[in-house]
Structure 1
Amino acid sequence: MEDLRILFEKNNDDEFLIGLKEIKNNIELIEKNKDFLVKVLQKTDNRMIKETIVNILKKANFDDVDEKKLEELLMNDDLFVRDSILTILGKSRSLYYLNKLLNSKNKHIRKYALDSLFRMEDPELMDFIAKGLEDEDINNVMAAIEYLGELEGYKYADKISDLIDKFDNPFFISTVLQTLSIIGNNYSLEIIKNKFKQPENLPDMILIPYLNFMAKFNNIDTIEIIEKIIDKKGTILYKEFIDIIKSIIQNTQMDKKTKLRIKEILKELFYSDIPYPNKYEILILVGEFCEDEEVKNFIKKVLNEGFENNYILFGILDVISEKGYIEFKDILKKILSESKDEDVVFAIEDTLKSLEER
């Protein structure tokens, strides 16, 4: 085949693409031409040529490629080129080179190295990513924390917990809390509780990941904090409260006092000025969490008050159908006879059918 350099100098993209396709499965020719292909990646504007080169270079060994050349590519103005190099380094598993990049004086290069290591999706590489925890740049530390959380790097929980005071930045603190809600341990709990003595005063950006973290470990404390926040701010964080309570209900054994407090919070949220789809969620939670008599009494109360939106009726119908509460047949038939709403008619008929089948 004709030399790739000669083909490129002809300025005929079609011929050059043919030449690229002829070497794509020849490791010897790939290694011979990889430095030249890296240069072409920088020079060409042809997207198909770029993509073909990237696919070829994924098969190359990059441990002996000139560092400065790759650093130039990582700082290239073309996002495709930058992302391509990260992909190439990841696919070729060039750990030697990526490890050197983690020590680069350029913070952006260090970040690209972290990104590439994370893209490999290999838990065995977490020790490399963990080097980012010692970086002086806040964005790099945040990236390392986030990546270790997503890779479930439990052995780094203590170290990440100790970083909570490294930067006085809400984005950073939020990232630490979000990661610790995945991999945190009892040491993390001690650090975070000591850090935030009055969590109800936290800004929402930190408060929400804090509550998610606390729900993982100490549910009684979490319920107390939610109660304080409702007293202070009202139900403005209703969606977050519902998600956290849902998590607690699904994953926790609790005493009667805690159960009672959760029930009161659910009722307070239901009767507050929150969107109807979220009231639907609460009705489903009440059906799952409360004893049958409590659920039935709550449904009767809501129906007697007159439901102001179909979401509320649909939530009630789903609970009745799931629980098989046949005693509600008559009231459902009454609502059915009075309704002209096709969605309501269909939903009630469907529920009545499911009750008949029990």
Structure 2
Amino acid sequence: MTSRTLRIAMNGITGRMGYRQHLVRSILPLRESGLELADGSRVEIEPILVGRNEAKVREIADRHGVEQWTTDVDAVLSDPEVDVYFDAQVTSRRAAALTSAIKAGKHIFTEKPTAETLDQAVELARLARDAGVTAGVVHDKLYLPGLVKLRRLVDEGFFGRVLSLRGEFGYWVFEGDVQPAQRPSWNYRAEDGGGMTVDMFCHWNYVLEGLLGPVRSVTAKAVTHIPTRWDEQGQEYEATADDAAYGIFEVDGPAGEPVIAQINSSWAVRVYRDELVEFQVDGTHGSAVAGLNRCVAQQRAHTPKPVWNPDLPVTESFRDQWAEVPANDDLDNGFKAQWEEFLRDVVARREHRFGLLSAARGVQLAELGLQSSAEGRRLDIPEITL
């Protein structure tokens, strides 16, 4: 039984994330299957592709058999049959587009950062609240299998008293002169909204909140390791944005205990770990390491007792001493899983758990991270209220 159709305007699907994760791996599968609701009924999903480059949007629409596409954002927002507006544009265009969508009465789902400044991000949250629309912000990492398992360990009390979290994220992004860069050039220009701190501290805020608790302070150092890069046309340009950020965060743990989190983020590092991002949580009763998919753990009773001796070669295989944490569930693509949750909230006309206020806290953490780096000091994080 089909109860209704949700029409979703998707702006920014010509970009890497908007195309791969949101269109191809999330909305197109949902268009095929429909969205199943708790009562057994199904909602049909119909995407409308939106973008500034007509040729690119038309080509993607033709490739995937999507009938509706346009370069006219205003026409989409004024169409009463459009239910949801999704935004995966560059950061500098996002706040204005989301504001227009909210004022048009559309439910919104958006990538982050939601705005370039905290004031803009808070105003977006206020507008959505007053308009009564359902607003969701992509918190994809919390839906990844590795972090779902890690959160389950927290909920089950596996760690005892949580002591610390350590995160490593990043990989080498080629400069673009000999080998093309894997990321767009605007990522490395501050004037275009680029920068590691602006990009990733929004993620780290919701990851820390989702795993442990609220972030209370930040000490950060933002660095531009690679000062010169080459753009998509092969033109040399100055990298004005930071390409690495090193942060120490004080977090309220699950039982209110203070937890120290350290997260390194860099596009100028070569990977020597199992996945591109990994988080290790250590507690009095156990430790666990989670990546995008895997999670391994070591319980207190199974913790070996290594002895420091630099005169002898290591004979222990430390990685083999950890046990795999099972999924115990069918864990789908993280982006698709959140899309499904958000769309169910739209149908039910209820608040999405990861809304625009959560996104504002991410923008706040990025702003304070850059301020901490510039001033060389620790900064407390004030509470945001609407």
| Larger CA Rg, structure 1 vs 2 | 1
- TM-score of the superposition, structure 2-length normalised? 0.27
- TM-score of the superposition, structure 1-length normalised? 0.28
Name the one with the larger helix percent: 1
RCO higher in structure (CA 8 A, sep ≥6): 2
Name the one with the larger strand percent: 2
